[in-house]
Every structure is written in C-alpha cells, then in structure tokens.
Amino acid sequence: MRINLGNDPLSSKTEVETVISKIRDLIINRQLEPGDKLPSERALSNKFDASRSQLRLAIQKLEFYGLVKRYPKSGTFVSKIGVGALNSMMANILHLQTPDFKSLVETRLILETKAVKLAAMRRTEKQLYQIEKAHEAYIKKSINGQDALDEDLLFHLKVAEASCNSVINSLMLVITPEIITNFVTKKICDAQNFSSLIKEHQDIVNAIKNNDPDEAIKSLKIHFKDLYNYCHTN
Amino acid sequence: MRINLGNDPLSSKTEVETVISKIRDLIINRQLEPGDKLPSERALSNKFDASRSQLRLAIQKLEFYGLVKRYPKSGTFVSKIGVGALNSMMANILHLQTPDFKSLVETRLILETKAVKLAAMRRTEKQLYQIEKAHEAYIKKSINGQDALDEDLLFHLKVAEASCNSVINSLMLVITPEIITNFVTKKICDAQNFSSLIKEHQDIVNAIKNNDPDEAIKSLKIHFKDLYNYCHTN
DNA sequence: ATGTTTAAATTGGTCAACCAAATTGGTTAA
DNA sequence: TTAACCAATTTGGTTGACCAATTTAAACAT
C-alpha cells in the first residue's frame, strides 16, 4: 500500500513500469481478459525477461490500485473491470508524477472541510476529548512562543479521526506528511499572531462540541483562508 | 504505494504490525527522535527478532505514509514530524480496518463533486474529447440494453483526470475499484431506464464543455441522487 | 464408468546470501 | 595543517533457492 502519490519508494522504477506496461499490453491484446488468472510469477518473469522480485513489485503496485487480486498459493487474477477502464487506469499509474503542491493543498481542503463537518455530526465524547486535548497542547506550546507545527498537525489529524469515515481518515494520513514537508520550505501561512490562531482552532472545537456542522465548516474556512487564497489565485 | 485502504495484500500482517509497533515504541521512548537515522535493517531485524523481509515490509508501509524516508545505500530516516503526530499516525496505521462501504461512497461523492467542478473550470480540449468519447461508448453499450458498468467507470475516471488535480486523480484511482467490487454485490442504484442515465451523463458533459462549474456540480448531484440518499439515510 | 484417495506439480510467500553504491576513517602528499 | 585519495565497512536493493498450502491429475477401489 501506498497510494503512490508519486514518491516511489523502492526499486529501479523503470523496470517495474516496463513490466506493468507489458501486462497492460497483454490485456489490450486480449491475451488476458478481466477475471483471468495471470500466468505464474515465474512464468511471467521469464516471459518478460525480468527478475521475479521486480515482477512482484509490479504486481504489488497493480494490486494496490485494485487492478489485480492475489490469492496465496493459488494465483493472481485480473480484476473484473472493463478493458477500457483497466487500460486507462494502468496508463494513469504509469504516468503518476510527484504531486504538485497546489493539488495537494487543494485536496486537503476538500477532505478536511468534509471531515470537520462530519466530525461535528458524529464525534463521540472520546473523540471530542482527544481533539480538546490536542488543542490544549497546541495552546500550551504556542503561548510560549514556540513553534507548534506538530501540535497543529496532531489537532487536525484528530479532527479527521472524529469524522468517523475510515477512508477520509486514511487519505488524510497519506497526504498530510507530504504537505508538512512542503510547508517547511514554502511558508504559505503568513505570520499571524498566535492568539488569533488559537481562537480559530477554538472556534472549530466549539462547533464540533456543539454538533454544529455549518459553523464547523465556516470556522475551518476562516482558519484556512490563506490556503484558499493560495489555491484560487494564479 | 498504496493507500492502504485496509486490504493488505501481502505478508503475515501481524508480523509487520508487530515491527511497526516496536518502532513506534522506540520513538515514544525517545530512543529514536524525528530526523534520526534508523538502525540498519539488519540491526533492526536482529533486535526485533524478525526477518529482514518482514522488517522491510514494515518500513515500506511507514514510508508509504510518509513517516520515514529511505535513502538508498545510506539509511532510513524518521520524518521530522512531532512525536505526538508520529505516534498518533502509527496508531492509526495499526488500527486500519478494511473500509466500510458507506465511507467509501461518501468519500467518492466528495472527491467527484470537486473533480467535476474543477473539470468544468480547467479541462483541456483533449480531456473534453476523451470524456465525450467515453460517454459515446457508454451510450452505444447502453442502448443495446447491455450492462455498461465498465463504460460508466471509464467515464468517471476521465472526468477525474480532467480535474487537472493529480492528487484527486490518484485518490479516485485508489477508491474506485474498491467501490466497483462492492457495487456488484450490494446494488444500490435502482434500475432506472437507461435513457435517463444517458441524459444525466450528457448534462455533466455539457456543463464541463461549457465551463460551467455550478451546473456541473448540480448535474452530478442529480446523477448521484441515489448515492446521496444511501449515505445520508440511516 | 465413477467416485475417492493420494501423490506430484504448481502456486504465492519467505528467507539468507549477494551486489553495487555510498559513507567513513585513515593515510599520504602538498 | 590541510586537502586529496583510497580501501574497508556499512548501507539499502536484488536475487535465486526454499517453504507450505493448494491444486491437479493419476491411480485405485468400487
């Protein structure tokens, strides 16, 4: 798993991509139909003249995107998705580029806006407590004039958790660190005084506490005003 | 990479989770600080009494979520994220469950609503052409009374591509197959006559063609009316 | 013929040995 | 004293051999 957001961790990428490309060709040429069993890893690695390791990495990537399904000791099967869609998705996977920061931020805004709304609707008492705890830690660090980036991150993660939507939570987990690392270099958020930032967080907490989805969204949009501007300008 | 949406493809999951858990302990106990270099894979596999393969899988998963960063021939480093956030994210990763269908659909609605809006704003001529082509294929299959699920999928993927947001596109790629497989079993969409479905698609295409974001969103919401109901009821 | 048992072959998963690149430390020459 | 070089060590990456579960088909009894 990883949603490969472009940062490919391992392997001579080109080799894996070659293998994926060849598998795609098999599907396009109808030598391999949706639902079919793939040839064994050994057979394929031989046929493609690639090592089994590289072939496994390729299959792992395909499985991550749900295009094939592995059954241990039994075989790997092409998902029952239309040939056109399979082809298109594989093309997409092959072209995956390291994501531009603007896309990242834009997506974060979407997800977190929804997360904060859902959190206001569904949060349990325990989740609310965790959010409040994170918020307090943020305050504590912040009023000492220290950099509270970590506490800020934790706060937002806890909100995502409280959305009670496992997929949103997962996606936030994936894109958040990417954003963090970019944040250090770019510095979008202008230096507000910390007390206003604390208030913005507090408004979000209150809205979630009061089960007020609309207010929660409104508060978040104020908090992310700079980010919105960053996305919508140029 | 994969966004692990819960479907863990390989490996004695428990073993990997044990390793991740132990690495988390190292961080909690401050034996490993953000930015630090991890001990070598060999050293860790020895220390944790796990095979190096399993340890690599664990690190791969952590890297996928951006919690560590690998540098070939040089070492693996803990991301410079606060200890609290690291801990929380690792806990999340460990608890990741196979996503419930409702979360999946809910997230799809969010992403695709945004995607369709952005597509209406940013689509290139080429992307528009691809969408139209997919739509025509859908029509062709549909008026013959055949099942056009695949063409439908391809249509929506092309819309996501036209959003010109690489992250949204990636995320859609990840969650879409999961939805498809669930769709077959559950059958949420009631059997509309195909002509109304075609018209709904056509409205979306037109809105994107006319660069009318609001109309695009409106059309999509009509098209996904059943899905919305599915999410908001019960 | 047919159904059942059993053994051989095939499967994806795992592992320990190996590889080349990168780092490191010491040595040497300026 | 400093800078440059070289070799030994350490690194993550890769590989081919091995494993156990599964599937297959052949052998056998009915």
pLDDT in tens, B77-123: 999 888 999 999 999 998 877 788 899 999 999 999 999 999 999 99
> CA B170 to CA A200: how far, in whole Å?
31
Tell if A72 CB is < 7 Å from nucleic strand C: yes
Give strand C nucleotides closer than 7 A to any protein Cβ.
10-17, 20-23
Would the pLDDT of A98 be above 70? yes
* Phi, psi (rounded to 5 degrees) for A156: -70, -35
CB contact under 8 A, B81 and A111: no
Please tell me the predicted confidence (pLDDT) of residue A178.
81
CB contact under 8 A, A167 and B107: yes
- Across chain A, the runs of DSSP E, i.e. the strands, are 2-3, 68-71, 75-78
Residue with tokens 């001529």: B125
Greater confidence (B117 vs B179) lies with B117
Distance of A222 CA from C4 C1′ (whole Å): 74
Beta bridge partners of B46: none
Please tell me the predicted confidence (pLDDT) of residue B234.
56
Helix (H) or strand (E) holding B108: helix B101-122
Q: DSSP secondary-structure letter at B123?
A: -
> CA B194 to CA A198: how far, in whole Å?
53
Dihedral sign for Cα B107, B109, B114, B115, please: positive
CATH number of the domain at B13-95, please?
A: 1.10.10.10
Beta bridge partners of A37: A77
Please tell me the predicted confidence (pLDDT) of residue A188.
57
CATH 1.10.10.10 domain position(s) in chain A: 13-95
- Tens digits of residue pLDDT in B180-205: 777 765 655 556 678 888 999 999 99
Please tell me the predicted confidence (pLDDT) of residue B193.
74
Please tell me the predicted confidence (pLDDT) of residue B185.
59
| CA distances, A77 to each of B8, B66, B87, B230 (Å) | 16, 30, 36, 31
When pLDDT is averaged across residues B46-65 and rounded to a whole number, the result is 92
* Phi, psi (rounded to 5 degrees) for A68: -135, 165
- Confidence label for A171 from pLDDT (cuts 50, 70 and 90): very high
CB contact under 8 A, A177 and B79: yes
- Confidence label for A24 from pLDDT (cuts 50, 70 and 90): very high
Q: How many CB atoms lie within 10 A of CB B144?
A: 10
When pLDDT is averaged across residues B154-159 and rounded to a whole number, the result is 94
Tell if A52 CB is < 7 Å from nucleic strand D: yes
Q: Are B154 and B111 in contact (CB under 8 A)?
A: no
Q: How many angstroms away from the CA of B45 is the closest CA of chain A? A: 19
CB contact under 8 A, B65 and A150: no
Query: What is the CATH topology of the domain spanning A101-232?
Result: Four Helix Bundle (Hemerythrin (Met), subunit A) (1.20.120)
The residue of chain A with its CA nearest to that of B149 is: A82
Would the pLDDT of B2 be above 50? no
Residue B175 with chain A: CB contacts under 8 Å: 167
> CA B10 to CA B63: how far, in whole Å?
16
- Confidence label for A187 from pLDDT (cuts 50, 70 and 90): low
- Confidence label for A6 from pLDDT (cuts 50, 70 and 90): very low
Distance of A72 CA from C5 C1′ (whole Å): 25
Percent of chain A with pLDDT over 90: 63
Residue B106 with chain A: CB contacts under 8 Å: 165, 167-168
Q: DSSP secondary-structure letter at B11?
A: S
Residue with tokens 């806890």: A158
Would the pLDDT of B212 be above 90? yes
CATH 1.20.120.530 domain position(s) in chain B: 101-232
